């Protein structure tokens, strides 16, 4: 079972990393930005560069600067003279002047290329935690003033929180400015570690030792099969989450996507079981029997209990090929190209096997070639020689089987 667990742990870690990377935090944030009240007063009655004066905007433009500031702050103005506020004022001033920010502030910038000048904080972070009493509803704001010589500097702190409605299928998180990744997706930094753990289990879990003279599939082919299983499973698992933009939001808003992508994911999941079967396959050739062992168990097959043997070709079901092409046609851009490539490979896939019919009507299959017809298992001549030497009938006609996976036994 270790070969199966090797792959399942790796797959779970990769899929878990996807969920962690897109697990959005909808906790409130505070946007801090510089305020130039003189400029704002001059722009009263303007929108996107157009002048649309109203009686109210004209009134505000004619107020004194002190009266205008008092009206705009509406009792939500606090003094920020302690060192922490001084550092924040300095950072915001640099931001307003398009100067380089110190590294300790850069991670607070918006994740998108929003033209505004913002720094993001959690409400409980100092120094903005001193403004917590002003924040109740979305877009509530407070102002901080600091004297620098004869001039007054102002900051505006705006309270925001997000909901599932801020995620749109196809574009993901759609609120601007976008919070820094460390705030919006706080668990993303653990994703790489989870993948690394799964990779270490996959790479370093010891392989079960084989009896002397046993036939096994080469390791490089096993790795290649695992890569195919990875490409056929993880992308289709992850697409609903990436299209929606959030883990929870995929289940609440993008759930129809699961019906489209996850059937292919479950087929890809089955490939991991096939890969585990190949990795755990061990065949011992005896004088009177074949001994076959996989993660599913072990079996002894006496030559005298065999009716005949013949070549067998495994091909994917036609409905699966059709479904893969439909999925490719439904994709866009690079996703469509990748899906078309996988559909093309699936359409031309055929695995060569040796089929042994037992006298009780059951079948035993020993898979010899890969899907391109190249030899994957050495020792076929030895197997055939022993079968012939022990009088097992040989049939030359090729049996074709449409199957979801390479089967070790049937019947």
In tens, the pLDDT along 158-170 reads 999 999 999 988 8
* More confident position, 127 or 115: 127
In tens, the pLDDT along 271-283 reads 898 889 888 889 9
Report the distance separating Cα 139 and Cα 115, nearest Å: 19
Pairing of strands 306-315, 399-402: parallel
Q: Contact at 8 Å (CB) between 121 and 29?
A: yes
pTM of the model: 0.80
Provide the 3-class DSSP secondary structure of residue 163: coil
Average confidence (pLDDT) over 118-129: 94
Average confidence (pLDDT) over 354-358: 93
User: In the predicted model, is pLDDT for residue 258 greater than 60?
Assistant: yes
User: In the predicted model, is pLDDT for residue 122 greater than 90?
Assistant: yes
Confidence of residue 232 (pLDDT cuts 50, 70, 90): confident
In tens, the pLDDT along 180-230 reads 999 999 999 999 999 999 999 999 998 888 888 888 888 888 898 899 899
Confidence of residue 304 (pLDDT cuts 50, 70, 90): very high
User: In the predicted model, is pLDDT for residue 330 greater than 90?
Assistant: no
* More confident position, 96 or 302: 302
Q: What pLDDT shows up at residue 240?
A: 92
> What would the DSSP string read from start to end of 15-72?
HHHHHHHT------EEEEEEE-HHHHHHTTTEETTEE---HHHHHHHTS-HHHHHHHH
Joined tokens for residue 211: 């009896």
Percent share of the chain, pLDDT over 90: 44
Helices (H) and strands (E) in the chain, counts: 14, 18
Q: Contact at 8 Å (CB) between 235 and 16?
A: no
Q: What pLDDT shows up at residue 201?
A: 95
* More confident position, 350 or 225: 225
In tens, the pLDDT along 358-400 reads 999 999 888 888 666 677 888 888 899 999 999 999 999 999 9
Average confidence (pLDDT) over 8-28: 96
Report the distance separating Cα 6 and Cα 207, nearest Å: 10
CA 358 to each of CA 251, 302, 364, 392: distance values in angstroms, whole numbers, following the listed order: 48, 9, 8, 10
Q: What pLDDT shows up at residue 317?
A: 79
Strand partners, 285: 290
HSE, CB side, 13 Å, CA atoms: give it for residue 388: 9
* More confident position, 410 or 262: 262
Answer CATH for 208-410 from 3.20.20.70, 3.30.1950.10, 2.30.29.30, 3.30.70.360 = 2.30.29.30
Q: How far does Cα 213 stand from its chain's mean position?
A: 42
Joined tokens for residue 166: 């801020």
Confidence of residue 404 (pLDDT cuts 50, 70, 90): low
Joined tokens for residue 287: 């004088």
Average confidence (pLDDT) over 65-82: 88
Q: What pLDDT shows up at residue 408?
A: 62
Q: What angle do CA 301, 305, 310 make, to 5 degrees?
A: 80
Q: Contact at 8 Å (CB) between 80 and 127?
A: yes
Question: Domain ranges in the chain?
Answer: 29-161, 208-410
Q: What pLDDT shows up at residue 81?
A: 85
Query: Which run of H or E residues covers position 165?
Result: none
Q: What pLDDT shows up at residue 333?
A: 60
């Amino acid at each position: 079972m270790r070969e199966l667990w090797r792959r399942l742990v790796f797959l779970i870690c990769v899929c878990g990393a996807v969920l962690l990377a897109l697990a959005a935090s909808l906790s409130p944030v505070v946007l801090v930005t510089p305020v130039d009240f003189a400029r704002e007063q001059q722009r009263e009655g303007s929108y996107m560069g157009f002048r649309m004066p109203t009686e109210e905007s004209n009134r505000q433009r004619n107020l004194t600067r002190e009266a205008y500031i008092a009206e705009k702050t509406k009792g939500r103005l606090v003094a920020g003279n302690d060192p922490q506020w001084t550092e924040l004022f300095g950072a915001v001033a640099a931001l307003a002047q398009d100067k380089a920010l110190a590294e300790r502030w850069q991670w607070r910038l918006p994740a998108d290329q929003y033209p505004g000048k913002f720094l993001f904080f959690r409400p409980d972070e100092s120094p903005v935690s001193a403004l917590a009493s002003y924040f109740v509803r979305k877009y509530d704001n407070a102002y901080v003033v600091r004297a620098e010589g004869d001039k007054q500097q102002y900051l505006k702190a705006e309270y925001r929180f997000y909901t599932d409605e801020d995620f749109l299928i196809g574009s993901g998180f759609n609120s601007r400015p976008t919070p820094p990744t460390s705030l919006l997706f706080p668990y993303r930094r653990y994703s790489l570690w989870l993948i690394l753990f799964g990779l270490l289990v996959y790479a370093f879990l010891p392989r079960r030792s084989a009896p002397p003279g046993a036939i096994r599939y080469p390791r490089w082919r096993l790795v290649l099969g695992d890569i195919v299983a990875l490409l056929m499973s993880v992308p289709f698992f992850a697409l609903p989450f990436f299209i929606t933009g959030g883990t929870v939001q995929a289940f609440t808003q993008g759930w129809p996507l699961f019906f489209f992508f996850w059937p292919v994911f479950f087929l890809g999941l089955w490939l991991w079981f096939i890969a585990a079967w190949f990795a755990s396959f061990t065949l011992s050739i005896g004088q009177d029997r074949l001994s076959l062992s996989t993660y599913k168990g072990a079996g002894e097959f006496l030559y005298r209990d065999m009716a005949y043997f013949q070549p067998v070709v495994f091909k994917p079901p036609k409905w699966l090929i059709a479904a893969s092409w439909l999925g490719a046609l439904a994709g866009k851009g690079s996703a469509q190209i990748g899906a078309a490539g996988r559909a093309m490979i699936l359409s031309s896939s055929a695995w060569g096997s040796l089929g042994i019919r037992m006298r009780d009507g059951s079948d035993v299959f020993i898979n010899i070639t890969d899907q391109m017809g190249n030899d994957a298992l050495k020792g076929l001549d030895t197997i055939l020689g022993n079968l012939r030497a022990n009088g097992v009938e040989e049939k030359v006609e090729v049996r074709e089987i449409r199957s979801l996976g390479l089967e070790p036994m049937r019947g």
